[in-house]
Chains A and B, each alone.
Chain A
Amino acid sequence: MGLTIGIDVGGTKIAAGVVDEHGAIIARTHRDTPADSVDATAAAICDAAAELIANHAVEAVGIGAAGFVSSDRSTVLFAPNLAWRDEPLGARVTEQLKVPVVVENDANAAAWGEFAFGAAKDVEDMVCITVGTGIGGGVVIEGEMLRGAHGVAAELGHMRVVPGGHRCGCGSRGCLEQYASGKALVREGRAQAESGSLAAVQMLSVCGITDPAELTGPMITDAAVQGDPCAVELLDDLGRWLGEGVASLATIFDPSLVVIGGGVSAAKDLIMKSAVQAFEKVLPAKANRPHAPFTLAELGNDAGLIGAADLARRPVPTL
């Protein structure tokens, strides 16, 4: 098969691109996400895709959506941060565009991008964690995406790591996403600044702000890169939660490789070091078993787009 379109529907931006079979993006476009309206979101997706279809011979469209996608790869059952509830997104877009459309969970799409063309292209089994505002997960077993019985497997950000912990958008408490995501990083940073800690005040000044409410994740990462001790600690804490979470995943999946991607992974060693350390500390029987190495994702923000495009090319295997 030749060209396909990959569309990554984020909370603020819809990014679309034409992707060839080697994972190269040969044309791009984007739209703002009308987050409050289901109809407008579908329209914006169609609009972006139509613009690309006008100039390229496209055989299928893959959409990566931040939500629980049913095993028909067309319906979004539930999205924690968007208005979708049992939304037949694939059917709607197919009807408009007249090309085959598959809908994938965005983190699954990103994981597939890394598996097919990025950091995990040389292995057959991997766990990929996308650490952005929230946490997304994707698992590949023997070269196949893990989808589960109902299509909603690998929601790794919603494994409970703290009984009665922080509230999560999914309705539960104590999900990993509340401890190891960009959202958690900002929450902890702001809380520390609001507590009046001198270290945090210093961090704010390194970030060039005075109001804790203005603090963002990338600011914290920048401050940490410049050596600010408070910012370094915040990322260190995040990395530790991440490593402990991945250790639990390793007891389930026993992967050959752990790929860490998403916006927060831009902090690189500032989270990876403590993550690997925590992982190796809590992995059961670590002295008597081989275990997976960690690596950073390679495709950056394009992983979801490239992965969705490539998944559009592949039918779900029937075993």
Chain B
Amino acid sequence: MALTQALTIGIDIGGTKVAAGVVDPEANILDRLRRDTPTTDPKETEDAIAEIVRDLESRHDVIAVGIGAAGFVDGTRSSVLFAPHLAWRHEPLRDAVERRLGLPVVVENDANAAAWSEWRFGGGQGESHLVCVTLGTGIGGAILNDGALQRGKFGIAGEFGHMQVVPGGHRCECGNRGCWEQYASGNALTREARELALSGSPVAHNLLRAAEGDPRKINGPMVTALAKDGDPVAVELLEDVGRWLGIGLANLAAALDPGTFVIGGGVSDAGELLLAPAREAFKRTLTGRGFRPEARIVRAVLGPEAGLVGAADLAREEATWLRRVRVKTTAVTAKTAAARGRSTRLERAARKTAGRRTGMRAAAQDTDLHPADLNGDPEA
């Protein structure tokens, strides 16, 4: 089978669920698995990953595994530095899982993985300057310039859920106050809805009835469903979240000036109920408005499986490229070494362009490819 036709496994590790699937090169999911995330012990999470992969592998011929993890992934895409909802602290996830599975493993931030699939297959196709915002429990973000995921110096760029938008505002799990994700995420929607219901206001009547009279049972999907039925309070709650979304996007446009914002995640199921007020607030707060071209704000098209598909696709790119570059670079370096003795530089250039292709930025000081690999066995 040609490598580009090969299957890979994508795994999306969220705060509560692990979702995995076998994905083909056209982003079709051929097989799925889901289970709860063991949140207390990093070892248990690894066990769960290994079990899932073995299970899927028993039915499909896969060449690599991509993991999208809800956390800060370091610049070499090997360790999870910090995960707000999981027990990972400087966890060398890639090597640990690779050792157990004997397959190439790619670890990527979950929002980056989702953004990658939106760029490849979804709402961001063909956009040279793309910013993806995933509105789930929190806010995940990713920046793709010319198809390259912008990872920053330490691998943690695009974490804009933690931009401060309100000085001294709501407390955030990250330790600060006033982070964007406290105003424009699913958590924010739920918090506001519950607060309203708890205040005993009669306008929250439908909301309370949907939650069987218990404000603590109110959740985001409930609000969205009510808003779609035309409940004015639910519409307002989504409007408020949408407005904060637009305000934050205007900040990002000041900094990044993208051509398109793709909005994904569970809250985006509200569609125009969320996006229309977001666009309005965006237009109302954008710096230099009226004198500059403005970014489009569109909904993600891949839904909750974007992260899984993206992780699988990144794993395929990486695995395909690993084999190809070994063949190619051998030829290039041999020729150039003979001609000019500048092989090291060319190897670096090869790595760098290849990094662009696979959505990974070249890590200058610490790359997972060693010169020995690059000069290695062309059959590998």
Residues of chain A at the chain B interface (Cβ within 8 Å): 68, 77-78, 80, 85-86, 124-125, 137, 139, 141-142, 146-156, 158-163, 168, 170-172, 175, 244, 247-249, 251-256, 282, 284-286, 288-292, 319
Give the distance to chain B from A163, nearest Cβ to Cβ, in Å. 6
A152 touches B257 (CB 8 A): yes
Given known A-B contacts A171-B288, A285-B72, A285-B174, A252 and B364 have beta carbons under 8 A apart: no
Contact residue among A78, A160, A168, A254 (Cβ-Cβ distance under 8 Å from B153): A254
In the complex, besides A139-B255, A252-B160, 10 extra interface pairs with C-beta distance below 8 angstroms are A78-B292, A148-B129, A155-B254, A158-B254, A160-B247, A171-B289, A253-B157, A253-B255, A289-B156, A291-B154
27 CB-based A-B contacts, threshold 8 Å: A78-B291, A139-B255, A141-B150, A142-B361, A147-B257, A149-B258, A158-B287, A158-B288, A159-B255, A160-B247, A160-B250, A163-B165, A163-B166, A171-B288, A175-B287, A248-B164, A248-B251, A251-B160, A252-B256, A254-B156, A254-B157, A254-B159, A255-B152, A255-B153, A282-B176, A285-B82, A288-B89
Residues of chain B with a CB closer than 8 A to A248's CB? 160, 162-164, 251
Contact residue among A154, A251, A282, A319 (Cβ-Cβ distance under 8 Å from B146): A319
B259 within 8 A of A: yes
B158 touches A252 (CB 8 A): yes
Q: How far is the CA of A152 from the CA of B72 in the complex (A)?
A: 28
B256 touches A171 (CB 8 A): no
B316 within 8 A of A: no
B167 within 8 A of A: yes
Residues of chain A with a CB closer than 8 A to B251's CB? 159-160, 248
Top-6 shortest CB links A-B: A254-B152, A148-B257, A78-B291, A158-B287, A288-B82, A149-B259
Residues of chain A with a CB closer than 8 A to B259's CB? 149-150
A252 touches B90 (CB 8 A): no
Q: How far is the CA of A254 from the CA of B293 in the complex (A)?
A: 26
Give the distance to chain A from B366, nearest Cβ to Cβ, in Å. 12
Contact residue among A77, A139, A168, A288 (Cβ-Cβ distance under 8 Å from B81): A288
Residues of chain A with a CB closer than 8 A to B290's CB? 171
Q: How far is the CA of A284 from the CA of B151 in the complex (A)?
A: 16
Q: How far is the CA of A146 from the CA of B129 in the complex (A)?
A: 11
B219 within 8 A of A: no
- One digit per residue, 1 when the CB lies within 8 angstroms of any chain A CB and 0 when it does not, for chain B 310-343 equals 0000000000000000000000000000000000
Closest residue of A by beta carbon distance from B89: A288
Residues of chain B with a CB closer than 8 A to A141's CB? 145, 150
Q: How far is the CA of A36 from the CA of B154 in the complex (A)?
A: 46
Residues of chain B with a CB closer than 8 A to A161's CB? 164-165, 167
Give the distance to chain A from B147, nearest Cβ to Cβ, in Å. 8
A150 touches B293 (CB 8 A): yes
Q: How far is the CA of A43 from the CA of B81 in the complex (A)?
A: 55
B288 touches A124 (CB 8 A): no
Given known A-B contacts A125-B153, A244-B164, A252-B252, A149 and B129 have beta carbons under 8 A apart: yes
Closest residue of B by beta carbon distance from A174: B285
Residues of chain A with a CB closer than 8 A to B285's CB? 160, 172
Closest residue of A by beta carbon distance from B154: A290
Closest residue of B by beta carbon distance from A291: B154
B53 within 8 A of A: no
Residues of chain A with a CB closer than 8 A to B158's CB? 252, 254
